[in-house]
């Protein structure tokens, strides 16, 4: 049963990834009908058939080219689908809502039930991860984080977290977590007059702090938020050094920071408590 559900979750994720690629294209092109409308080749504008839209497999079978004009299709479509599917699968394995109990008649046979609380938690994070994946690729490709992605994600995060936790404690945690990261970026924005980071990074930072403020571990959410920020800067710095050494980047170049914030946030969501436990245990030894 778990194997079957895992496959379904991965397929769902890859389908969401395919939809995200359409959203990114239409947002960037400022086209109407982000949700509605037919998929078409950006080059020849021909309407794509269903067999051209099967996540992951269509790109492979078409060898990364349009079925009509033979124009190369960007590899980001393939990566977005497979990475979203993988993230959905990892999320399911982390928040596995299936409860297996041995049958009374035959203990070797398992009966399955669903933990609705865990299912709700998983659903919440899958929605937020979808927004984060969209922000990751949009900023990576276009060096911009549109409000159409970050603002809805913020409101959904606030509503979702409040529904799961006592409102007073949750409100305090979100204010502290979101406020610390937002203020950190806001000061950089003011000091640099918007040259170090953009307004999109401010809103993504707030989203990151709000998401990470909800934690069930021994460490406070704001501390997990700071960890996510540290991870983002460490990975961003490492990638920048590698690109400079490879002469793909010089000291005056700019690279989008949103993808690193997304990586830091997702890493902290999955492993934040464990990393902090390891760090403080090592530090206090």
Q: 15-56, pLDDT tens digit by residue? A: 999 899 989 988 887 766 555 566 776 667 677 766 767 788
Residue burial 7-42, b: 16+ Cβ < 10 Å; e: rest: eebbebbbbbbbbbbbbbbebeeeeeeeeeeeebbe
Residue 264: pLDDT over 90: yes
- Span 10-15, average pLDDT: 94
Structure tokens at 123: 């659903």
Say what percent of the chain tops pLDDT 90: 33
pLDDT reported for residue 259: 93
Confidence band for 284, pLDDT divided at 50, 70 and 90: low
Which range has the worst mean pLDDT, 30-39, 155-164, 205-214, 224-233?
30-39
pLDDT reported for residue 136: 95
The predicted model scores a pTM of 0.88
Of residues 24 and 220, the one with the higher pLDDT is 24
Contact 97, 115 (CB under 8 A): yes
Residue burial 70-104, b: 16+ Cβ < 10 Å; e: rest: eeebeeebbebbbbbbebbbbbbeebbbbeeeeee
Residue ranges of the domains in the chain? 1-93, 115-285
User: What CA–CA distance (Å, rounded) separates 161 from 176?
Assistant: 14
Contact 199, 257 (CB under 8 A): no
49 Cβ contact partners less than 8 Å away, ≥ 6 residues apart: 67
Confidence band for 164, pLDDT divided at 50, 70 and 90: confident
Structure tokens at 30: 């400022």
pLDDT reported for residue 28: 86
pLDDT reported for residue 96: 92
Say what percent of the chain tops pLDDT 70: 86
- Span 240-244, average pLDDT: 85
User: What CA–CA distance (Å, rounded) separates 272 from 137?
Assistant: 23
Angstrom CA distances, 182 to 62, 78, 188, 222, 260, stand at 44, 33, 10, 12, 16
pLDDT reported for residue 160: 87
Residue 169: pLDDT over 70: no
pLDDT reported for residue 285: 59
State the chain's mean pLDDT as an integer. 83
Residue 134: pLDDT over 90: yes
């Amino acid at each position: 049963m778990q194997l079957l559900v895992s496959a379904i979750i991965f397929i769902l994720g890859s389908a969401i990834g395919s939809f995200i690629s359409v959203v990114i294209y239409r947002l960037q092109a400022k086209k109407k009908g982000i949700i509605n409308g037919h998929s078409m080749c950006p080059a020849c504008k021909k309407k794509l058939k269903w067999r051209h839209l099967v996540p992951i497999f269509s790109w492979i079978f078409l060898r990364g080219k349009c079925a009509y004009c033979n124009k190369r299709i960007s590899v980001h479509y393939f990566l977005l689908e497979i990475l979203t599917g993988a993230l959905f699968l990892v999320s399911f394995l982390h928040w596995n809502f299936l409860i297996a109990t041995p049958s009374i008649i035959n203990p070797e046979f398992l009966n399955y039930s669903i933990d609705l609380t865990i299912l709700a938690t998983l659903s919440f994070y899958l929605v937020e991860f979808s927004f984060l994946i969209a922000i990751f690729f949009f900023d990576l490709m276009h060096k911009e984080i549109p409000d159409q992605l970050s603002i809805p994600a913020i409101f959904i995060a606030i509503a979702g977290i409040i529904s799961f936790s006592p409102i007073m404690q949750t409100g305090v945690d979100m204010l502290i977590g979101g406020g610390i990261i937002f203020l950190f970026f806001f000061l950089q924005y003011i000091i640099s007059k918007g040259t170090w980071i953009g307004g999109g990074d401010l809103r993504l930072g707030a989203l990151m702090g709000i998401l990470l403020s909800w934690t069930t571990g021994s460490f406070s959410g704001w501390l997990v938020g700071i960890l996510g920020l540290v991870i983002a800067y460490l990975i961003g710095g490492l990638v920048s050094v590698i690109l400079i050494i490879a002469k793909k980047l010089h000291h005056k170049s700019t690279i989008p920071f949103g993808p690193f914030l997304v990586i830091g946030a997702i890493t902290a969501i999955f492993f934040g408590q464990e990393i902090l436990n390891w760090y403080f245990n090592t530090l206090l030894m």
